[in-house]
């Protein structure tokens, strides 16, 4: 009897101890969660559905966390390289410096291996699939979906005889396109940057939201927008392409001008209800795509009358004037100004000295020789998608 009583006593005491420990554990866990998930932080909109990290703080610092029990060193490459700190359970964490608003590629580095973060959506950039994070800009929603009529982004697959390959383009069609089958539309050819492809503007750039909102508000005319891959090498010139420092070699787009003029434009005019004259045709691009835009349009002013270079218009290397630029295209300002309805040049103020000085000097040189153009600086944004979203939002209302 005494033995039974003693066993029950010990059992009850053990239950109480376990219960107390359980509540203490829960309290500690809750405290840990509060420390790790402060109530003023928010999940990044670019996270996969089940992921709580990365999290963005009100001052735009970013909290990263990943479990990697066997790793000996984990880092995040964002605006710079951050060393992550490991806890006793194998979870690595770090909080970054405040980030510039916009879309940024980033990479996890686990024991010197560069990988995409499984907690984030992946995007084609940096010449590979990479993680990306959207840093919100307070009070800015021109690139977000709204309750307006929405256009479509359609895929167009075609065979290129110049490259000897199948290629694809994305085509933005305004919401009204299928409602009036007799109406024809102007066309903007819009190019991505280096290390990206035709997915850049539809996904990272949110081109459809920007255009839907502009058209619905009456700020821009309904237009077709064509987004193709800027990498194209002529069939006879193709050799195995080697990536240099993770970037696509510049020679990989040597055939793009011919593909644009002789294949893409005729295909689009044959496939969609376009207005197929130069007065209703524009081209623009960002960074590498801006440089391609300048090369293609200024060599084919019989086909384009609107030109946009987003972070992609530079003085010729080693030159201090524009006499030799594109075979002297700017040497007759009067003729140029009559022929070109819009030359738009833009740059982000935080893009770095090389980009900012080069493009700002290009703008000043155009002013000095009397070439009419629009020059826009995106305040506080870097060489990334927020600069280029703003550029499109400013450029598109000036077209047609």
Beta strand 128-135 pairing with 102-110 = antiparallel
Q: What is the pLDDT of residues 1-58, one digit of tens each?
A: 444 444 444 445 544 444 444 443 343 343 344 344 566 899 999 999 989 999 999 9
pLDDT at 240: 53
Asked: is 42-135 a CATH 2.40.50.220 domain? The reply is no
- The reported pLDDT for the residue numbered 20 is 40
Question: d(Cα 265, Cα 256) in Å, to the nearest integer?
Answer: 12
Please give the share of the chain, as a percent, with pLDDT higher than 90: 78
Is the Cβ–Cβ distance between 309 and 344 less than 8 Å? yes
For domain 152-398, the question of CATH label 3.40.50.1820 is answered with yes
For residue 168, the model assigns a pLDDT of 96
Q: Cis omega before residue 54 (within 30°)?
A: yes
What's the DSSP call for residue 152?
E
Ranges in the chain, pLDDT < 50: 1-11, 14-36, 242-248
Quote the pLDDT of residue 324: 83
| DSSP codes, 176-208 | TTTT-TT--B-EEEEE--TT--TTIIIIIS-HH
Return the domain boundaries, the chain: 42-135, 152-398
pLDDT for 239 equals 58
For 197-251, write each residue's pLDDT tens digit: 999 999 999 999 999 999 999 999 999 999 999 999 998 877 555 444 444 455 5
Q: Is 209 helix (H, G, I), strand (E, B) or coil?
A: helix
C-alpha atoms less than 13 angstroms from C-alpha of 37 in its C-beta half-sphere: 12
What confidence score (pLDDT) does residue 326 get? 86
Residue 6 is predicted with a pLDDT of: 46
Q: Which helix (H) or strand (E) holds 306?
A: strand 306-310
Closest CA to 388 of 308, 318, 294: 308
The rounded distance, in Å, linking the Cα atoms of 395 and 284 is 9
CA atoms of 136 and 54, how far apart (whole Å):
13
């Amino acid at each position: 009897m005494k033995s039974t009583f003693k066993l029950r006593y010990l059992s009850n005491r053990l239950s109480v101890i376990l219960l107390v420990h359980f509540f203490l554990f829960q309290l500690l866990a809750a405290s840990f969660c509060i420390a790790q998930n402060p109530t003023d932080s928010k999940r990044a909109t670019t996270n996969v559905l089940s992921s709580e990290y990365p999290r963005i703080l009100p001052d735009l610092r970013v909290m990263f966390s990943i479990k990697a029990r066997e790793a000996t060193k984990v880092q995040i490459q964002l605006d710079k390289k951050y060393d992550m700190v490991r806890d006793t359970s194998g979870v690595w964490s770090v909080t970054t410096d405040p980030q510039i608003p916009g879309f940024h590629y980033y990479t996890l580095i686990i024991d010197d291996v560069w990988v995409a973060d499984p907690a984030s959506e992946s995007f084609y950039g940096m010449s590979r699939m990479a993680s990306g994070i959207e840093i919100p800009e307070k009070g800015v929603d021109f690139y977000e979906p709204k309750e307006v009529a929405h256009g479509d982004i359609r895929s167009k697959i075609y065979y290129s005889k110049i490259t000897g390959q199948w290629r694809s383009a994305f085509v933005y069609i305004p919401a009204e396109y299928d409602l009036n089958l007799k109406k024809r539309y102007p066309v903007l050819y819009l190019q991505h940057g280096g290390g990206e492809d035709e997915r850049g503007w539809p996904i990272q750039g949110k081109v459809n939201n920007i255009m839907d909102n502009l058209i619905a508000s009456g700020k821009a005319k309904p237009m077709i927008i064509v987004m193709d891959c800027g990498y194209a090498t002529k069939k006879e010139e193709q050799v195995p392409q080697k990536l240099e420092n993770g970037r696509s070699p510049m020679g990989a787009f040597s055939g793009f001008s011919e593909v644009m003029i002789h294949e893409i434009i005729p295909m689009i005019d044959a496939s969609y209800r376009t207005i197929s004259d130069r007065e209703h045709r524009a081209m623009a691009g960002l960074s590498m795509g801006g440089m391609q835009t300048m090369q293609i349009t200024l060599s084919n002013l019989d086909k384009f009358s609107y030109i946009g270079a987003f972070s992609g218009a530079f003085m010729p290397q080693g030159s201090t004037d524009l006499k030799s630029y594109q075979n002297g295209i700017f040497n007759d300002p009067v003729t140029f100004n009559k022929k070109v309805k819009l030359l738009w040049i833009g740059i982000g103020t935080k893009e770095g000295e090389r980009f900012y000085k080069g493009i700002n000097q290009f703008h000043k040189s155009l002013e000095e020789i009397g070439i009419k153009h629009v020059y826009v600086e995106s305040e506080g944004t870097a060489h990334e998608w927020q600069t280029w979203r703003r550029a499109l939002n400013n450029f598109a209302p000036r077209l047609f």
